[in-house]
Amino acid sequence: MALSSKDLLGIRGMAAEEIRLILDTAATFKDVSERDIKKVPTLRGKTVINLFYEASTRTRTSFELAGKRLSADMINISTLTSSVVKGETLLDTARNIEAMKCDIIIVRHSCSGAPEYLSTRIKSSVINAGDGFHEHPTQALLDMFTIREKLGRLEGLTAVIVGDIAHSRVARSNLCGLTTMGAKVRVCGPPTMIPPGIERMGAKVYYNMDEAVDGADVIMMLRLQLERQAAGLFPGVREYARLYGLNLARVARATKHAMVMHPGPMNRGVEISSEVADSTPVILDQVTNGVAVRMAVMFLLSGGIKAEA
């Protein structure tokens, strides 16, 4: 089986079989990170570039480890120290990289659509590591992998995503992925942070967090970006924490086996209390699984005869 495209740009539009293929493949790649010799020769000789226009430690390191464990040659380009500061355009940057014969380019950019823009203009495979407010597909894939690993399935589960949904590419990708795989998704946050029309993507909207987590199987907390306070989207951190923060009382309202997840980094005491953060090892499992899922994606995209873009 193969993925239907040479790129991984987003979860929207991916068939359930493709998502399942990635999750199944990731399960076997997870073993590589548990062995003494954390390397397989699968992508030997391939060159993979991390082209990050936004700061990142977690995602970039995860992709770098994934590539290195597959024996690929990994290069990190952080645009702050590159010719981008001299005004080089995205397309010129990518074309120059392609001219150095790079097989996969992993792009994180503050403009929604930047990875797709590149994918139709360069022959290399493009992996979206987060574009603007649009999508963060590998995060959603690792979240779904983690849920499936812990709860045994995705179909029929109730997942609630809490936080600044409007500005969250993680929320969008997870919403698409979970609904495609048959889960029911609720979104919850202050009205200023829930984009109008999100019901059309399949989500049920809640403004009351106690109701939202009632009976949920998965609670996914999003990081509150404190800059949004200056934009008037929430009045204060303490009020946000009181109304939309995850504490032990709210966790108790969910099902007994409920999972608490967070894409990281956490603001302890804001969207998630320290007690909850320290009682959920799943959040660290997400990080471990991230490397496995990214290895699976790179493996599946690196097949010889590429599908048409």
Partner 1 sequence: MSLKEKALILDKAGIDRALTRIAHEILEKNKGAKDLVLVGIQRGGVHLAKRLAARIKEIEGVEPSVGSLDITMYRDDLATRKSQPVPQATDIAFDIQDKMMVLVDDVIYTGRTIRAALNSVMDYGRPRRIQLAVLVDRGHRELPIRADYVGKNLPTSAKEKVDVMLIEDGVEDRVVILAE
Residues lying near partner 1 in the complex (CB under 8 A) are found at 1-2, 21, 24-25, 27-29, 31-32, 35-37, 39-42, 70, 299-300, 302-305
Class of residue 225 by CB neighbours under 10 A (exposed 0-12, middle 13-18, buried 19+): middle
Our CB check for partner 1 shows the closer of 71 and 179 to be 71
DSSP, res 45 = T
Find the shortest distance in angstroms from Cβ 41 to partner 1: 6
Our CB check for partner 1 shows the closer of 65 and 201 to be 65
Find the shortest distance in angstroms from Cβ 304 to partner 1: 4
Sheet architecture: strand order including 47-52: 73-78, 47-52, 104-109, 125-131
Our CB check for partner 1 shows the closer of 224 and 300 to be 300
Our CB check for partner 1 shows the closer of 34 and 227 to be 34
Our CB check for partner 1 shows the closer of 7 and 131 to be 7
Find the shortest distance in angstroms from Cβ 307 to partner 1: 9
Class of residue 80 by CB neighbours under 10 A (exposed 0-12, middle 13-18, buried 19+): exposed
Find the shortest distance in angstroms from Cβ 60 to partner 1: 23
Find the shortest distance in angstroms from Cβ 36 to partner 1: 8
Between CA 167 and CA 127, with CA 181 as vertex, the angle to 5 degrees is 55
CA distances from 135 to 70, 113, 237, 247 (A): 25, 9, 26, 28
Return the number of other C-beta atoms located less than 10 Å from residue 230's C-beta: 7
CA–CA gap between residue 74 and residue 68 (Å, rounded) = 7
